[in-house]
Amino acid sequence: MVKIYSTPDCSWCKKTKSYLKSKNVEFVDVNVGADLEQREEMFKLSNQKAVPVLNVDGKIVLGFDKAKIDELIKDLVVQ
């Protein structure tokens, strides 16, 4: 499962979500600006307060790190 912690006005979050969609990867989008519980979860998982943060089956990606995202989603891509 892919979960992206994001905020609505974050341009890197939008790019990350668009990239995942272009790869046909399903994901859960969590607005940490509105959901304090999820924000705390993001902090605990990543030690980061910046978005986007991706959780790909328990592996954390900070920011729009395309190479790392590609490595982690290769088995999740729907053909």
Q: What pLDDT does 28 receive?
A: 97
Q: What pLDDT does 57 receive?
A: 93
Q: What pLDDT does 45 receive?
A: 94
Integer angstrom CA distances of residue 65 from 27, 52, 75, 76, 77: 16, 10, 17, 17, 17
Residue ranges of the domains in the chain?
2-73
Given a cut of 80, whether residue 8 has pLDDT beyond it is yes
From CA 45, how far away is CA 61, in angstroms rounded? 10
Considering only the top CATH level, what class is 2-73? alpha beta
pLDDT in tens, 34-71: 999 999 999 999 998 999 999 999 999 999 999 999 99
What is the residue whose two structure tokens read 């859960």?
28
- Identify whether the C-beta of residue 30 lies closer than 8 Å to the C-beta of residue 43: no
